[in-house]
Amino acid sequence: MTDYQQRWSEARDRLAAALSQAGYPAELAPMMAKQLRSPRAIDRMTSYVSHGYARNLEMLADEMLSICQDADAWREKKESEEAQARYNAYLYHRKLEDDET
């Protein structure tokens, strides 16, 4: 098991414990962890459950979807920044080549 898989598994187990302690079925944890995809997102969900913000399953699902949307937006932003950096590097190197000729 890789380090990432170990962290993901530990985060899933923490989520299961928090769900059980809050009175929800621990069986939700593997499904939620799979949907959340990262240990950081799973830990955010665990924090939400631990602080007692969720009063019903619908609120749990809503928060999970919100965390997923935040993660997707962050991923898209990073991909866009990387693409912009590559494009800027391309323009910079092209300008250098033009200046040399």
Give me the residue spans of the domains in the chain: 3-100
- The number of residues making up the chain comes to 101
User: Rounded mean pLDDT of 18-31?
Assistant: 94
- Find where tokens 């380090």 sit: 3
pLDDT in tens, 48-68: 999 988 889 999 999 999 999
What per-residue confidence (pLDDT) applies to 101?
66
43 Cβ neighbours under 8 A, 6+ residues apart: 11, 14
Statement: the pTM of the whole predicted model exceeds 0.85: no
User: Rounded mean pLDDT of 13-31?
Assistant: 94
